[in-house]
């Protein structure tokens, strides 16, 4: 699994890394897992790609798992790489699912009357749910 870096989105990554560097330089390290236990082993290629990118492109040695997990979560959120909701720690998974469901309920309230319950509408809602997750 690779990391897609385009010139416009690369700037976002650069800003994130600068903030992460400043925070770490001030010894304000992250202390909670945001990804599931075993993610590092299950997604070893992605983990290695991120740590290599940090070392080679940004000359940062990010060795703390919490910091790498946070960076990966940023990469997922910004669409740099593919993401599976079940990779998030269970408490975050349930929060994401809950927020997505609340949003979809609001979409249904607003659009269902106009769009009806056609198969196309239901497929669009399912796709939106997946994309939001």
Running DSSP on this structure, what letter comes out for residue 38? Answer: T
Q: What is the distance between the alpha carbons of residues 112 and 120, in angstroms, rounded to a whole number?
A: 12
CA 116-118-123 angle, to 5 degrees, is 120
Q: What is the distance between the alpha carbons of residues 65 and 84, in angstroms, rounded to a whole number?
A: 19
pLDDT for position 116: 64
* Per-residue confidence in pLDDT tens, the chain, 133 aa: 456 667 777 788 889 888 888 888 888 888 888 898 888 898 888 888 888 887 887 777 666 788 888 888 888 888 777 777 788 888 888 888 899 999 998 888 887 666 566 788 888 888 888 888 7
What is the model's pTM? 0.69
Q: What is the distance between the alpha carbons of residues 76 and 86, in angstroms, rounded to a whole number?
A: 12
Question: What value does the CA radius of gyration of the chain take, rounded to a whole number of Å?
Answer: 18
């Amino acid at each position: 699994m690779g990391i897609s870096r385009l010139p416009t989105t690369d700037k976002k990554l650069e800003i994130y890394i600068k903030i992460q560097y400043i925070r770490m330089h001030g010894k304000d390290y992250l202390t909670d897992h945001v990804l599931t236990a075993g993610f590092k082993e299950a997604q070893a290629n992605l983990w290695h790609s991120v740590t290599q990118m940090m070392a080679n492109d940004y000359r940062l040695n990010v060795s703390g798992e919490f910091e790498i997990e946070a960076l990966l979560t940023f990469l997922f959120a910004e669409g740099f790489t593919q993401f599976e909701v079940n990779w998030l720690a269970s408490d975050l998974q349930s929060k994401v699912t809950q927020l997505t469901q609340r949003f979809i309920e609001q979409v249904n309230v607003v659009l269902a009357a106009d769009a009806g319950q056609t198969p196309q509408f239901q497929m669009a809602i399912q796709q939106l749910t997946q994309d939001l997750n």
